[in-house]
Copies of this chain bind each other. A is one copy, B any other.
Amino acid sequence: MNDMLELLRNEKNMTPKQIEIIRAAIELISEKGYYNTSTSEIAKRAGVAEGTIFRHYKTKKELLVEIVTPVITNFAAPMFAEKFVDQVFRTDFAHFKDLMYVFIKNRFEFAQSNIPLLKIVMQELAFHPEIQDAYKKVFKEKVYPAFNQTLDFYKEKGELQNLPNETMIRLIVPTIIGFMITRFILQPDKDWDDEAEIRKLITVIMGGVGSKE
């Protein structure tokens, strides 16, 4: 269940109207951007009155943040949730590249289910300090620690070069994200063999950080 809207409906208990507002906002903002989308347009597409939006969200920006924050949290978080880290250490994954495969596969599917949302995050991240804060927080509190633990684990197993974790993260993460941007945003209509692409991606990453034995 990767669909964020589903998730929002459940976690916060939203009224149907609220859901419609969020859905409309996501559609419109991801198509045209935050500044090209008016609240009246959102209201119209959501089938509610303009005032209704402001009953639920004090400002237009708050609506944006409300949309974007859970995406950030959920894009980064779940893989680093207890369950997953457990698996790693219960050595469910014999090799780092197996872990990478599951990790990338999982995030890939998440991205696929939430393209409009991720588009919004990427586009608006640059301009809204509130969003940047959420992003930094998640990165610092979730991604970073989880990565550290994981990388240390496989370093000790001799599967990774003895590079600083930070360096490795800086090599791995942009490579993965770069791939997804190409895949979902720049050339979404190309005829992709996703499975092959992901394997190739892992080769690149391992070429970069894997131990050269």
**A contact residues vs B (CB 8 Å cutoff):** 32-33, 35-36, 119, 122-123, 126-127, 163, 167, 170-171, 173-175, 177-179, 181-182, 200-201, 203-210
Contacts and interface: CB of A to CB of B under 8 A. Distances in A.
A174 B171 contact: no
3 shortest A-B CB distances, which residue pairs?
A: A207-B207, A174-B178, A204-B208
A171 B204 CA distance: 8
B204 A182 contact: no
A127 B203 contact: no
B204 A33 contact: no
Q: How many copies does the complex hold?
A: 4
Contact of A127 (B36, B163, B181, B205): B36
A127 B32 contact: yes
Nearest to A36: B127
A163 B32 CA distance: 36
Name A's interface SS. helix
Contacts of A205: 204, 208
A177 to B, nearest CB: 7
A140 to B, nearest CB: 12
A179 B177 CA distance: 11
Contacts of A182: 170, 174
A36 B167 CA distance: 35
A115 to B, nearest CB: 13
Given A204-B209, A207-B207, 6 more contacts: A32-B127, A177-B178, A178-B178, A203-B208, A205-B208, A208-B208
A173 B181 CA distance: 12
Contacts of A179: 170, 174
Given A36-B127, A126-B123, A175 B200 contact: no
A134 B213 CA distance: 45
20 contacts: A33-B35, A33-B126, A33-B127, A35-B35, A35-B36, A36-B127, A122-B126, A163-B200, A167-B200, A170-B179, A171-B201, A173-B178, A174-B178, A174-B179, A174-B182, A200-B208, A203-B207, A203-B208, A204-B207, A207-B210
